[in-house]
Structure 1
Amino acid sequence: MDFEIGQPTEIELAPQACASCRKQKRRCDKRLPICSLCSRIGRQCDYSVDVQTASPSQEDFVALRDQVSNLEQLLRGVAQGTVLLSNTSNGGSSNDSANGSSHLSHGSSPAGLLTPNSALTSAGQTPFPSIFFLDSSAFQYERFQIQHPQVKVPPGALVALGNSAELREMIEHYFSTVHNYFPIISKIRLYQHLANPLHEPGADVALLFLAMKLACSEIPDGMPAQTQLYQDVKSFYNFVEAQNGFSVQMIQALLLIALYEIGQCIYPAAYLSVGNSARVCYATGLHDRQAPQMLPRCNTWTEQEERRRVWWGAIVLDRFIHVGHRGKPFASPDPSLETHLPTDDASWDRGQMLVAAPLSLSASQTIRVSPFARTCQAAHLLGKVLRHMDDKQLPIDYRFGEALQLHRTMRALADVLPDEALHDDPSLQPSLCTSMAIVYSGLLTLYDGYSCTEHSVQSGQEGGEPQLVMQKESIDGLGEISGRCLTLARKVRTVVDNGEIGRLSPMVVDAIYQAAANYAWYVRESSDHSCSERLFELKELLMLLDRRWKVAGQYLFIIDDFWSRKDLEPPPSRMEAERFASA
């Protein structure tokens, strides 16, 4: 529409103030279709007239009949629409849903379920209430709620998901592989959500499905890690985020994207995705239930536990990605000792709330917890080690005392995990491999920094007896923990030989690399034959793991190109090699 220059645009006004402004006795400018105040704070604007007003006219009755007709058409469309999962009333039992069984109908396309109804999708982007960030105190005081926008699913996303049979197979494959070592998605809530005909999954659920497919996909030899699926998922996520489609599913998808990027060695995208996941958790309020919340209130224990696991997932990835990338601050702070650990994995998958009280991070490490809780404990201690190694302002007498305390705490957890793995359910193997690998990565990082203390302190400073004790523990610990990594590698090799390589976490690979780098250092120093054999065994495993996670091949390249080269003067430690490289 063309307007003449200088001609004012006519603004359509409602005959009375909106219901919200009338109730709160606020001044309303009566703009249509939404007043300025409601638009600013993102609430629903209702101009409906009270019952006490004048009786309806003939035009009102005609409009009401039209609305009823449209509603009937909408309900008929929902009843006749394609459904991915059959309802329990259509031949399925409620026990199937409780056990997490999916009832995906074969041959149908997911487009009918994943595409939001056009009648429910607004023409423009849903306005986000800026008051949430500008004055969160006012937002909480007024108890405003953020409306979840209806974001349309791009057609390309539906094509990538495939039909219902393919989608069902992908979901089952995900829960049998990635879910074992990174359980951040509630199986029962996902199936119940899809089985409910009143719920119409939108773009965030479609994005989560694509991210699940990406996380459990393997890359053929010779193909780049930035596959078409990866590019589609990244573009889809950016689109949903730009439309303010914040939800738990969107954060879960981002974490799975980051996990894929870490495993496939896609940098710096992996580093940025991990940092973004922590920021989004902050924005939505997942890190603290007392903070301003962007998401609706949880209705069930299972949902609250899912949000806790999502936040822990961001912390785990944030700590792990800094193992080899030193001197940078974390994107998330250290959780407090009162922070609850994830509950039992199997019970949570079934939606069964435990009678036992939840365990906090300060609980004794001798208390048996779930595999994912062990991963969270290991990642927390890893973060402590990395903060300690990067802190150059610690007094010399305090530095070695803190290093010894970290050594004792991490060794206590490292001693508990192998015993638990012996009594673990064989069907859940290798459930504790991730936590063991993270602990070993932290110990090797700590020992490498203190094995040659003349490079860990400034000249002229002495740490006294703690310095000598820590140096001895580090020298002995490098050999011992490298041996434990070899034992873990043999367990991983068994999993690979059994054709279950998809159940292995990419966070296992770093410990294997660090052990191989230590053995390569030993070979260059002493030409020890046993160390050479162990190095060969670890390098062979890295070659096999490269079929699943391309980061293993990159680690193998670093070992051959740097640690195993005879023409290089070996540095005193791997940490000293980092100093030489940055000099």
Structure 2
Amino acid sequence: MPQHIPRSAVSALFLSTDSFNPLPPGSLGPKGQVPGQFLEGLQNVEEIRDLYFSSIHRWLPMISKARLTQASNDPQLKYDGTTVLLLTCMKLVTTTPHRNKAFELPLYQLAKQFYFCVETAGSICIPLLQSSVLIAVYEFSQGLYPAAYLTIAQAARHGTMMGLHYRGKAARMFHEAETWTQREEERRTWWAVLLVDRYLHAGTYGFPIITCDPVKENFLPCDDASWDTGLLGLNESFLSSTPSRSLKGGQFGTLCRTCHIFGRVVRHKYDDILEIPDKLNEAIQLNRAIIALESTFEDPTTGCEFKDCDVCRALCYSARMILYNMYAYNQRYNGTDIQKASIEGMATIGLSVARMAGRVQEAVMTNIGAVSPLICHCLYQAAGRCARSLRENCQSGMKMALTTIIDTFSMLRDRWRICDDYLKLLEVEDGIMVES
């Protein structure tokens, strides 16, 4: 149960950090029994856990299975508001609302109301932060803007208060976690915040990324197999140029490494401080870094693409298309190395995304719930690129690529309603007509 902490003890963190003493972990949380309306939808906790871990957890493995199982099996669960909230959000993010009814979904309204109640009660903890991430995932994947943008901003502030952004250096609300599992869960949850924050800025211009870039003290999550089985795993630096064998393939650590480079591209897009030569040099370096990272998504002996890397691959393709759109057809950069690389990349990237989209279609047929919505913006960018290529020169294979990408969108719209919004944009921007 949360301890009684004087309000002044918490205020000191913000008023005079030098006078603040970190609090015991878990000491800030809601007290008393959870109101009945928030417990009604949790009659089958095991079913909620199983569905979540077989779907969302496959691409966003931030929650400790062991910790959650222990907490949710506790007979005193009705007194554990943050775990009840987390289970509610796990149920929410695995629920598909009726078309155009994502906001009105009673479970969404309940989760938002419950989150507000728990936060207002003064709770600050990892389950609450995880809950806000899952709410943001539901919101952006179902097309609820600006709610998603605001929710992930709230999560960023929450994690910053806990010192997760700069371990060992920044002031933090609580003492350092005692066990490796607790520290790993904190690490994974913070990377999840960084990932969603950067993804939500993919299509914006001039909106600064909310979270700061990771520092060298922000190690990558360990390999997913060790995490899921509760074993100690290796944590390596995200600055490492060559990922270890354990983090190759479709690992969350690889996705985190990818999201860092993706974030650098987003920042590069709206940077107006660098001089032109420096910005061009940075663009070349970013393009090389992305391509080098993409090369780790292939079997070095056969050249075959790993199927479990498609979320990472989608972020890489998306980052490259952001760069290429900046430099390929801008006369200001005529003759520069980055313009040459951009024009060459534009000619083939639509075909690359189409190959990925074909694999996504296979995954949809197997388990649509496990397909990540993080691939959607890449599909949108590539569809627009293919449509423009067809208008310009009818490049061989581009029509089939466009058809494959649109078909993938049509399959995913049954799970992620944001696909409808992307298809409407493609209709307006590129005249691509899709049956409702």
| TM-score (norm: length of structure 2) | 0.90
What does 1:35-114 align with in structure 2 at a 5 Å threshold? 39=6, 41-42=8-9
Alignment of 1:380 with 2:260, yes or no, is: yes
Q: Does 1:477 align with 2:345?
A: yes
Paired position in structure 2 for 1:526: 393
Distance (Å, rounded) in 2 between the aligned partners of 1:403 and 1:300: 41
Per-residue CA distance 1:393-447 (angstroms, 9 max, x = gap): 32121121111111101001112213389999xxxx9642211111111011111
State which structure, 1 or 2, has the greater radius of gyration over its C-alpha atoms: 1
TM-superposed deviation, 1:201: 5.3
User: Is the partner of 2:20 in helix, strand or coil?
Assistant: helix
Q: Is the 8 A contact 1:421 1:432 kept in 2?
A: no
C-alpha distance in 2 between matches for 1:537 and 1:224: 27
Inter-CA distance 198–232: structure 2 relative to 1 (3 Å threshold): closer
Q: Which runs of 5+ in 2 are unaligned?
A: none
Distance (Å, rounded) in 1 between the aligned partners of 2:133 and 2:116: 14
Task: Verify the 8 A CA contact 1:320 1:507 in the aligned structure 2.
Answer: yes
Alignment match, 1:227:
105
Counterpart mapping for 1:226-305 below 5 A = 226-290=104-168, 291-305=170-184
Aligned residue for 1:15?
none
- Gaps of at least 5 residues in structure 1 are 1-33, 43-128, 458-462, 567-583
Runs of 4+ residues deviating >4 angstroms: 143-146, 195-201, 420-424
Shift of 1:39: 3.9
Query: Residue 394 in 1 paired to residue 274 in 2?
Result: yes
The Cα shift of 1:196 comes to 5.5
- Judge which range, 475-484 or 194-203, deviates more: 194-203
Letter in structure 1 aligned against 2:330:
T
Which of 159, 179, 182 is residue 60 of structure 2 equivalent to? 182
Report the counterpart of residue 316 of structure 1 in structure 2.
195
For 1:271 and 1:554, the matched residues in 2 are separated by 16
Q: For residues 69-114 of structure 1, what are the alpha-carbon distances to aligned partners after superposition, in whole Å with 9 as ceiling and x for unaligned? A: xxxxxxxxxxxxxxxxxxxxxxxxxxxxxxxxxxxxxxxxxxxxxx
Q: Tell me which amino acid in the other structure corresponds to 1:171.
A: R
Contact 1:520 1:559 in 2 (8 A): no
Q: Which position in structure 2 is the counterpart of 1:307?
A: 186
Q: Which residue in 1 is equivalent to 2:329? A: 452
- 2:428 and 2:301 map into 1 onto residues whose CA distance is 35
**Please, what TM-score do these two structures have when normalized by structure 1?**
0.68
Name 1:351's counterpart in structure 2: 230
Which string of whole-angstrom CA distances, capped at 9 and with x for unpartnered residues, describes residues 127-159 of structure 1?
A: xx312211121113xx65583341542221111
Residues 458-469 of structure 1 mapped to structure 2, 5 A cutoff: 467-469=335-337
Q: Does the CA contact (< 8 Å) of 2:219 and 2:236 recur in 1?
A: yes
Equivalent residue for 2:212, pick from 333, 336, 350: 333
- 1:297 Cα shift? 3.7
8 A contact 1:521–1:564 mirrored in 2: no
Aligned residues of 1:440 and 1:481 also touching (Cα < 8 A): yes
Cα separation, 1, equivalents of 2:278 and 2:368: 44
User: Closer, same or farther in 2 for the Cα pair 1:565/1:219, shift >3 Å?
Assistant: closer
The answer to whether residue 377 in structure 2 is matched with residue 510 in structure 1 is yes
Displacement of 1:478 in angstroms is: 1.4
If asked which structure has higher relative contact order (CA below 8 Å, sep 6+), I would say 2
Matches within 5 A, 1:393-472: 393-419=273-299, 431-454=308-331, 457=332, 467-472=335-340
SS of structure 2 residue aligned to 1:418: coil
**Offset at 1:528?**
4.6
Q: Distance in 1 between matches of 2:284 and 2:164?
A: 34
* Cα distance in 1 for residues equivalent to 2:307 and 2:52: 15
Counterpart CA distance in 1 for 2:301 and 2:98 is 32
SS at structure 2 position matched to 1:562 = helix
Deviation of 1:505 (Å) = 0.8
Which residue identity does 2:188 align to in structure 1? R
Q: Which amino acid aligns with 1:362?
A: L
CA contact (8 A) 1:318 1:332 kept: yes
Aligned partners of 2:202 and 2:266 also within 8 Å: yes
Indicate yes or no: 2:413 matched with 1:542.
no
* CA separation of 1:546 and 1:257: change in aligned 2, threshold 3 A: same
The aligned amino acid for 1:546 is R
TM-aligned CA deviation for residue 361 of structure 1: 1.1
Q: 1:292 to 1:199 in 2, by over 3 A?
A: farther
**Which residue pairs with 1:3 in the alignment?**
none
Percent of aligned pairs with the same amino acid: 32
Per the TM alignment, residue 198 of structure 1 is displaced from its structure 2 partner at its CA by: 7.9
Structure 2 CA distance for partners of 1:340 and 1:216, relative to 1, 3 Å: same
1:130 aligns with 2:11: yes
| Pairing partner for 1:501 from 353, 360, 368 | 368
Deviation at 1:325, TM superposition (A): 1.3
1:475 deviates by 0.9
- Answer whether contact 1:430 1:495 (CA < 8 A) is retained: no
The change in CA–CA distance for 1:285 and 1:475 in structure 2 (over 3 A counts) is same
Contact preservation (8 Å) 1:220, 1:547:
no
What's the counterpart of residue 89 of structure 1? none
* Number of aligned positions between the proteins: 424
Go from structure 1 to structure 2 and tell me whether the alpha carbon gap of 1:200 and 1:305 turns closer, same or farther (over 3 Å shift).
farther
Change (3 A) 1:552 1:512: same
Distance 1:401 1:133, change over 3 A: same
CA contact (8 A) 2:351 2:398 kept: no
Task: Report the Cα distance in structure 1 between the residues aligned to 2:425 and 2:284, rounded to whole angstroms.
Answer: 30
Letter in 2 for 1:522: S
How far apart are residue 304 of structure 1 and its match? 0.6
Q: Output the aligned Cα RMSD.
A: 2.6
Are the structure 2 counterparts of residues 193 and 362 from structure 1 closer, same or farther at C-alpha, using a change threshold of 3 Å? same
CA contact (8 A) 1:216 1:502 kept: yes
Q: Could you give the per-residue CA deviations for residues 153-197 of structure 1, whole angstroms, max 9, x where no partner exists?
A: 222111122x1xx22111101001000100110001212334456
User: Counterparts of 2:213 and 2:131 in 1: how far apart (Å)?
Assistant: 23
2:242 is matched with 365
What is the distance in 2 between the residues matched to 1:254 and 1:430? 29
Deviation at 1:285, TM superposition (A): 1.9
One-letter code aligned to 1:336 = V
